[in-house]
Amino acid sequence: KQEVTQIPAALSVPEGENLVLNCSFTDSAIYNLQWFRQDPGKGLTSLLLIQSSQREQTSGRLNASLDKSSGRSTLYIAASQPGDSATYLCAVTRAGKSTFGDGTTLTVKP
């Protein structure tokens, strides 16, 4: 059974800091790994998708890496801004089923 763990559960940083969010999974037989952002009371917004054959993806200030052999992914956020405050979730997908971590709640203080 796939299990996804995200560390830390919560993170508070001052504006402008670079930060790393971690995601680990137990079964490396995945199709892809996706990072999402969720604002309170809202749905999920896709940030980055990494296919199982890829090592990283970048979008603007975001960079996500994937190491399937060790069952780990990281989401790097450069020059954080107060608007980045949200819960960040990672999900691994295999055979049409996605398993989510519990998320990291990020607060960026002005």
Partner 1 sequence: KAGVTQTPRYLIKTRGQQVTLSCSPISGHRSVSWYQQTPGQGLQFLFEYFSETQRNKGNFPGRFSGRQFSNSRSEMNVSTLELGDSALYLCASSLTVQETQYFGPGTRLLVL
Please say which residue, 74 or 93, places its beta carbon nearer to partner 1.
93
- Across-strand partners of 23? 6, 73
Structure tokens given for 28: 């490396």
Distance in Å, CB of 18 to partner 1, minimum: 25
Question: Which part of the chain contacts partner 1 (CB under 8 A), choosing from 7-15, 43-51, 65-73, 75-83?
Answer: 43-51
Q: Contact letters (x/-) for partner 1, 82-101, by CB under 8 A? A: -------x-x-x-xxxxxxx
Residue 110 lies near partner 1 (rule: CB under 8 A): no
Residue 94 CB coordination number (10 Å): 16
- With CB under 8 A as the contact rule, the residue among 3, 12, 29, 42 that binds partner 1 is 42
Question: Which part of the chain contacts partner 1 (CB under 8 A), choosing from 8-16, 19-27, 28-36, 64-72?
Answer: 28-36
- Give the integer Cα–Cα distance in Å for 31 and 98: 10
Q: Is 105 left (phi over 0), alpha (psi -120 to 50) or beta?
A: beta
Please say which residue, 3 or 17, places its beta carbon nearer to partner 1.
3
- Give the integer Cα–Cα distance in Å for 102 and 58: 23
Distance set, CA 60 to CA 35, 80, 99 (Å):
14, 12, 26
* Residue ranges binding partner 1 (CB under 8 A): 31-32, 34, 36, 41-46, 49, 51, 89, 91, 93, 95-103
